[in-house]
Structure 1
Amino acid sequence: MKGFTIRPAAAAVLATLLLVLVAAGATGTGISNNCSRSCGGVEVPYPFGFGVEPGCYLAGFNLTCSHHGKLFLGDGTVPVLDISIPNGTVRINSSLIYLPPGATLRRTGAYQAVVTNSTWGGVALGGPYFLSEGGRNKLVAGGCDIQVLLQGQNGNTISTCAAFCPQIEIANDGGGGFVVDHAGVGCSGVGCCQAGIILGLASYRFEIRQLNGSRTNSAAAYLGIVSSEVSFDPLADSFTRVLPAVLDWTISNGTCSGNGSSPACRSSQSFCANSTALGHGGGHLCYCSAGYDGNPYIPNGCQDIDECSSPDTYPCYGDCKNTAGGYTCQCPAGYRGNASTLNGCKDIDECAEAQPCYGSCINMPGTFHCRCHPGTYGDASQRGGCIMIKQSLTGLTIGLVVSGASILFLLAIVAPFATRKIKLRRIKRLKEKFFKQNHGLLLQQLISHKTDIGERMIITLREIERATNNFDKTREVGGGGHGIVYKGILNLHVVAIKKSKIVVQREIDEFINEVAILSQVNHRNVVKLLGCCLETEVPLLVYEFISNGTLYSHLHVEGPMSLSWNDRLRIMLEVARALSYLHSATSMPIYHRDIKSSNILIDDSLTTKVSDFGASRYIPVDQIGITTAIQGTLGYLDPMYYYTGRLTDKSDVFSFGVLVIELLTRKKPFIYKSDDDDGLVTHFGSLFTEGKLVDIIDPQVMGEENGDVQEVAALGVICTKLKGEDRPTMREVEMALENLRAKSRAISNNTTPGCRNHTLDQAATQGVSRQYTMEEEILLSARFPR
């Protein structure tokens, strides 16, 4: 299976991108002051302009402002997003080239090529624009098993990248899985790719080469040139085919004069500089001189910068004074050093530099203090200014010493308490920060109208630490790639506390909504969510504790004997009841998205508990499905959801059908391969059609069943049909299993069993050659004896 599919014969795509080269020279016309300088929220500085007023723009820099308030280059085909005079750039909207499925193929050299003519209209030939260099743009492509080459018109390759959709081998790890999803690693070659462009030309040619030709059978791809700041993701929900790109421009195809001047540079504080673009044939730009900012293309356009009003850009940690074209920064009086750096001004030690002081000199920040020695009084800054005091100060000295000792003693006693209080206050602030970061206020708002939930949902970190003995390693009962599960005692109840390793900040809002919804799920076959703690960097979830392990560990044991057939049939029914409840009985339908044997827990009485809602999504009642990033476990994953990204209730039905086949065969879906290299579902369906189920059914089941294995197998085949609309709902599956369970009990209590019902057998067998409608399958379910 692959995460993004395109037809294998993709090669040599020609797409002429009319960027445009070189500029018109500066004219001698005057600059009009009666021109509009904005359109649709975009500032339009000279030499750019629009309208018919003479002097609104320099030749070649005309724009179009539509009556809808949209700004375009030239004749109005390329949308303008932003114009930068200092950078000499124009940001525009660029449409990606789309190669649709079913494109016409032809042989070109050693490759098959899909040829399309895609141009960029609206940029006049001979204009001043060309593709920006220096890493501002990038080549992007989305597809499977393709290599995209960006070439100049002479055929030289300028940039290239390749995108693959690899086949993944899954290790025998007891239920693990893999999903092709490039969102976690960026657009780095899985499903899409990107590469830098270091040569800015007027036009380009694309060539797409198909790789691993035998693996794909349809053509679909996106490619183009976009700004390097754009995050390109063709699998994203909000993916758009119109993305920004960056153009450079020059004033003319001539060079600056020897003294660095040009007729186009009209401000007195401006200068001219030649273009350094590698792929451009010449031209120059105007810049404001150092210490000035503004528009060098208009008279007096470059104005002095007040550096002192922008300390973040022009740091000064002393006395700042603005000057024409610059500024001065000096240390204040009493300090010396470098005032442009933090702590660069050092206090002058006036006492050490022989300042006039004839008593006790005390240096202070920025100044000094001079006073008479003890036992004297007067003016210490004058020679002979201090006069001896006749009386003794021995008593005062003793009093000062005793007072100082008392203060030090009190500080020694108070300091530990003050330190502890500061530490507790810091921990409290950190908890409050994480609580707000994890949208605890939003959760409180969601549950404010449900006091029965609010009283128990939000659990403090102190309670969690007490329940787990401060997350003691001896309390760990499980773990894996998603986090660690601890066993704890909370309010005299044994609970399981899940501590995730990773959380994506953009998914916090959805997480809080799902916590509020899952808290209302109350079903005997669903693990109960008891609450959550939001006072840590990653939220903690608290569930009821199930002590008897997973269905996977009970089913796949060493030796010929495993769960009895009656237990397996009951487990199927209980899982179907739980999924039917989640799909149709909750306030909003909830799709589990990762049903597998390792996510089914078994309690001490062998009652089934569906667990691990980390991948679950709730669906508003007015929608039949949503498009999401693919998530699940290979072997159990619905192929239609895998290929389209559209999640519906039938995705859980497929995973349940795989679980039924796993219970019948004791084979592991994520690693099983037949002699013909078929997966478990495909091989099981083939044997069912040929009437050879005995070749794959668990011998223990064949020895214990009461004649109902064929009907359960038919149910597994129907649930795993390729098209979602051909599968039953979980409610219909639940009803069918209820009937089978009731029939099994009746057979075991009656020495003369009744006639077998072959409706499911016929439905599944005929489904191989033709697809039943949903209405027919509902009728089939309804025929089982009540």
Structure 2
Amino acid sequence: MVAQSLIALLFLLCLAQATSPISTALPGCRTACGNLTLPYPFGMEEDCYMPGFKMTCNDTFYDPPKLFMGSGNIEITQVTLDNVFMEGLVARDCYGELSTSSHVWTNIENTPYTLSYARNRFTAIGCDTLALLYRATLVDFTSGCISLCADDDSVANGTCAGSGCCQTTIPMGMKRFDALLGSVQNHTTTKSFSPCSFAFLIDQEQFEFSVPDFIRFRSRSTVPIVLDWAVGNQTCGDANKSGSIICGPNSGCVDSDNGPGYKCRCNQGYHGNPYLAVGCEDINECEDPTSNPCVSICTNTPGSYICSCTDATAGDGKRDGSGCRSATKTFPLVQVVLGCGSGFMFLLVISSLIYWGVKKRRLVQMREKLFEENGGVLLQQQIASREGAARTAKIFTAKQLAKATNNYSQDRVIGKGGNGTVYKGILPDNSVVAIKKSMVFDRSQVEQFINEVVVLSQVMHRNVVKILGCCLETQVPLLVYEYVPNGTLSDRLHGRRDYSSLSWQARLRIAVETAGVLAYLHSATARPIIHRDIKSTNILLDHNYTAKVSDFGASRVVPLGRAHLTTLVQGTLGYLDPEYFHAGVLTEKSDVYSFGVVLAELLTGKPPVSSQRSREEQLLAMHFISSMERGQLFEILERRVATEGDRAQLEEVAQLAERCLRLTGEERPSMKEVAEELERLRRFERHPWAQQSSDEGSGRLLGITGYPSDMDSIDNISTPID
């Protein structure tokens, strides 16, 4: 009787909770701005929001009021516990308009928000349109697309495949982007039907292209953009360890899938705001007339429900189960067993065995599903089909890599980037590896992931970073590389001040080694491979400062009988081949151009992009070429290079870089020619008896000594990622 009373009381309490209104904000806090409602952790008043989640409601200058992020000028149109929606600017370039907005940007750095890579697409509209998307603050991502058409009759509504409209994805973890517009013929041939070009980032679910957009977008200044958000910068595991996790009762923690931090989610069977102290509240499934799960008697329980039948019927009482039917048989033995304590224990044991069996089977099924989604089956087929590849690419288990990194402990982090983290791993045989764990994994990027594993598995070159294997049974795939201790060439040229400077001899050797890799990829593999993203951050340095070319995710294998590929423009600002950007045609000469920028970096020590130079010379390639044309090479060389290098040798290397940087691919040398020329110049450096004496004016330029050796003892730095 007492037990029945307690059950009845519990039922009434659950019912009372289910019928009470769900709270979404802190008590006493303003929640509405016009027709927008803000759930906690967002808020507009002091002590009503978590750090970083402040919003401002401007009801002084706007009627109805408008909501803005923080105290800034980014307009917010919707806030949910999943996403925030903002208004982004549209870049515009029109025929005959002197004042245009061909360059726009969005910056949400130092906020808990990240541009949603899953929802947003970079989009360009027009029939004479070149659109560039780049991340200006990090200068490590450049993409874009080209939209061309002869007339509006050839343009199809609803598609953005390059005729009148084009689209491309954005990378994960992006917090700032710049959109820049250009045209091929200044809209002179399309002005009658498409006088303008437009470029913007937009929520793909709120946009469908149509031909009238050529004109309609002239009066449209903003478009909707979706932001992801997360709490803090810790994972759920780290937040639990430190005791700082903020998820309320009846909720769980989920790591962010687009940058650092985590989010809270109500457990199944509960709803509400998991960030509040009261936590999530029980859902009364029995009270929902549209989805009542039972055909007869429904009893709500915390987080779930129980369906049962009347005494005169039998079955499970569920709509999607056996329901209830007339009872035609009795089972005295079962009734006796169920009527005693031993029967209860019997059912408890059986149900526990079933539960754990189902859970284990689901775990196996989940791993198999992740393996398949991450390209595991296709990857195994690709590896098995390539001679020698199976010996170099191993499939690791999640358990092996978790143990190798001490469960991805923070003290094992050796590098962080916009797309993820690299951990130092120690395998059971005590070998040290670098394990790259992405923040997120876009299912559309499966091909790119497989591409890197397969390409690196078949490329056998001492100056290419070795891939040891991967793991495909986790939410995001993991890549395992050889451990490269001395960071990147970019670190060495543009990194921290306490890094020792590289000697000219070391720079020339690195150039020779890198050129040799590209020549090998273009000429010595079964089918030519275009790296597509050669830059100083993708050239790693081992303990001997030997170059190791990395990051083959964007590389492309050229089919037999073809000299080029037509593909979406992808690369890095400052290294991107202008011919490839304008025509979308990728050739081996695109790698040559990018390598020319690296040569200019080695000579000048300057970054590929700098806002400190004039607008015409912000790109190192343009600055280098213009300096060469003015005969000012030795004014832009890095001091140590000018000190240690032979004048004639430096001039020849600079001339080679200038040839690599020519705007037309046909005028550039092949990578094989570049590699041979650099090797010849390096041999020239090796034999001082072949050089003219410094008295004859072709020796050391400045006569300054005292630079530290490039082999000086320094601290190991992290293996970088992109």
After TM superposition, the score normalised by the length of structure 1 is 0.49
Which region of structure 1 is more displaced relative to structure 2, 418-427 or 608-617? 418-427
The letter for the 1-side match of 2:644 is E
Say if 2:586 is the partner of 1:647.
yes
Alignment match, 2:140: 176
- Give the deviation of 1:695 after TM superposition: 1.3
1:344-355 mapped onto 2 (5 Å cutoff): 345-346=295-296
Shift of 1:110: 12
The 1:598/1:516 distance shift into structure 2, 3 A limit, reads closer
Q: Give runs of aligned pairs for residues 737-756 of structure 1, distance below 5 A.
A: 737-747=678-688
Distance 1:461 1:369, change over 3 A: closer
SS state of the match for residue 519, structure 1? helix
Matched ranges for 1:572-587 at <5 A: 572-587=511-526
Whole-angstrom CA distance in 2 between matches of 1:712 and 1:668? 18
Quote the offset at 1:635 in angstroms: 0.8
The answer on 1:362 being equivalent to 2:326 is: no
Per the alignment, do residues 411 and 216 of structure 1 end up closer, same or farther by CA in structure 2, a change over 3 Å counting? same
Higher Rg: 1
Aligned residue in 2 for 1:33? none
Tell me what 1:483 maps to.
420
Counterpart residue number, 1:515: 453
Q: Does 1:656 align with 2:595?
A: yes
Taking a change above 3 Å as real, the CA distance of residues 754 and 639 of structure 1, as seen in their structure-2 partners, is: farther
Any residues of structure 2 matched to 1:217-232 within 5 Å, and which? Answer: 217=186, 219=188
Distance 1:213 1:471 in 2: 45
The question of 1:705 aligning with 2:705 is answered: no
Which SS does the other structure have where 1:180 is aligned? strand
Q: How does 1:322-471 map to 2 (within 5 A)?
A: 343=293, 345-346=295-296, 362-365=311-314, 404-410=340-346, 418-450=354-386, 452-454=388-390, 456-471=393-408
Mapped to 2, the partners of 1:566 and 1:440 lie a distance apart of 44
**Match status 1:621 vs 2:560:** yes
Q: Which amino acid aligns with 2:467?
A: L
Tell me the distance in 1 between the aligned counterparts of 2:193 and 2:145.
22
SS at match of 2:458: coil
Out of 546, 566, 571, the position equivalent to 1:607 is 546
Instruction: State the alpha-carbon separation in 1 of the partners of residues 461 and 507 from structure 2.
Output: 20
Q: C-alpha separation between the residues in 1 aligned to 2:162 and 2:560? A: 37
Change (3 A) 1:427 1:518: same
* 1:726 maps to 2:667: yes
Q: Deviations over 1:587-615 (max 9, x none)?
A: 22221111111111111111111111222
SS at match of 1:631: strand
- Aligned-residue offset at 1:343: 4.9
Q: 1:510 Cα deviation (Å)? A: 5.6
Mapping for residues 79-228 of structure 1, pairs under 5 Å? 142-143=125-126, 165=131, 170-171=136-137, 173=138, 175-181=139-145, 192=165, 217=186, 219=188
Q: 1:711-742: per-residue Cα shift (whole Å, max 9, x none)?
A: 11111101101100111111111100110010
**Structure 1 CA distance, aligned partners of 2:515 and 2:291?**
69
Cα distance change of structure 1 residues 460 and 610 upon mapping to structure 2, 3 Å threshold: same
Separation (CA, whole Å) in 2 of partners of 1:141 and 1:695: 40
Instruction: Tell me the CA shift for residue 756 of structure 1.
Output: 11
- 1:427 corresponds to which letter in structure 2? L
Structure 2 residue identity aligned to 1:363: A
State the AA in 2 paired with 1:454.
Answer: A
Residue 166 of structure 1 deviates from its aligned partner by 7.0
For 1:447 and 1:215, how far apart are their aligned partners in 2? 42
Change (3 A) 1:401 1:656: closer
Q: Secondary structure at the match of 1:658?
A: helix
Q: Secondary structure of 1:677's match?
A: helix
More off after superposition, 507-516 vs 420-429: 507-516
Give the equivalent residue in structure 2 for 1:500: 438
Inter-partner Cα distance in structure 2 for 1:547 and 1:166: 34
Q: Quick one: which amino acid aligns to residue 706 of structure 1? A: D
Q: Aligned partners of 2:402 and 2:145: how far apart in 1? A: 35
SS of residue in 2 equivalent to 1:721: coil
Shift of 1:402: 11
Match of 1:551 in 2: 489
Counterpart for residue 14 of structure 1: none
Which string of whole-angstrom CA distances, capped at 9 and with x for unpartnered residues, describes residues 652-671 of structure 1?
Answer: 10011111111111111122
CA distance in 2, matches of 1:401, 1:424: 29
TM-score, normalised relative to structure 2: 0.53
Gaps of 5+ in 1: 1-104, 112-139, 147-162, 195-210, 226-232, 234-240, 244-336, 349-360, 375-395, 758-786
- SS of structure 1 residue aligned to 2:312: strand
Indicate the SS of the match to 1:526. Answer: coil
Query: Deviation digits for residues 129-166 of structure 1, max 9, x if unmatched?
Result: xxxxxxxxxxx99327x9xxxxxxxxxxxxxxxx8847
Answer whether contact 2:131 2:182 (CA < 8 A) is retained.
no
Distance 1:503 1:656, change over 3 A: same
2: CA distance between counterparts of 1:716 and 1:637?
15
- Partner residue, 2:506: 567
Relative to structure 1, the CA distance from residue 616 to residue 449 in structure 2 (aligned partners, 3 Å threshold; closer, same or farther) is: closer
| Partner amino acid, structure 1, of 2:535 | K
- 2:472 partner amino acid: L
State the AA in 2 paired with 1:178.
T
Q: In structure 2, what is the Cα distance between the partners aligned to 1:110 and 1:498?
A: 48
Report matched runs for 1:244-323 at 5 Å: none
Matched residue type, 2:125: G
**Residues 701 and 370 of structure 1: is their aligned pair in 2 closer, same or farther, counting only changes over 3 Å?**
closer
Structure 1 letter corresponding to 2:341: A
- Distance in 2 (alpha carbons) for counterparts of 1:186 and 1:501: 30
Q: Which residue of 1 aligns with 2:609?
A: 670
- Partner Cα separation in structure 1 for residue 659 and residue 615 of structure 2: 22
Matched residue SS, 1:470: coil
- Pick from 676, 684, 697: which aligns with 1:735? 676
Please state how far the C-alpha of 1:188 moved relative to its aligned partner.
13
Residues 613 and 703 (structure 1), Cα distance of their counterparts in 2 relative to 1, 3 Å cut: same
* Separation in structure 1 between the aligned mates of residue 397 and residue 289 of structure 2, nearest angstrom: 49
State which drifts further: 211-220 or 699-708.
211-220
Letter in 2 for 1:680: L
- For 2:450 and 2:183, how far apart are their aligned partners in 1? 45
**Secondary structure class of the residue paired with 1:594:** coil
> 1:217-255: CA deviations, max 9, x gaps?
354659999xxxxxxx9xxxxxxx999xxxxxxxxxxxx
Describe the SS at the equivalent of 2:627.
helix
Relative distance call for 1:714 and 1:367 in structure 2 (3 A) is closer
Q: Percent identity?
A: 42
Displacement after TM superposition at 1:421 (Å): 3.6
Structure 2: distance between partners of 1:560 and 1:528: 25
1:514, CA displacement in angstroms? 4.9
Q: CA deviation at 1:536?
A: 2.8
The answer to whether the 8 A contact 1:141-1:221 is kept is no
CA gap of 1:548–1:416, structure 2 versus 1, over 3 A, is farther
- Structure 1 position 559, deviation (Å): 8.1
Change in 2 beyond 3 A, CA 1:634/1:584: same
User: Which position in structure 1 is the counterpart of 2:102?
Assistant: none
Task: Give the letter for the 1:362 counterpart.
Answer: D
- What is the alpha-carbon distance in structure 1 between the residues aligned to residue 311 and residue 350 of structure 2? 30
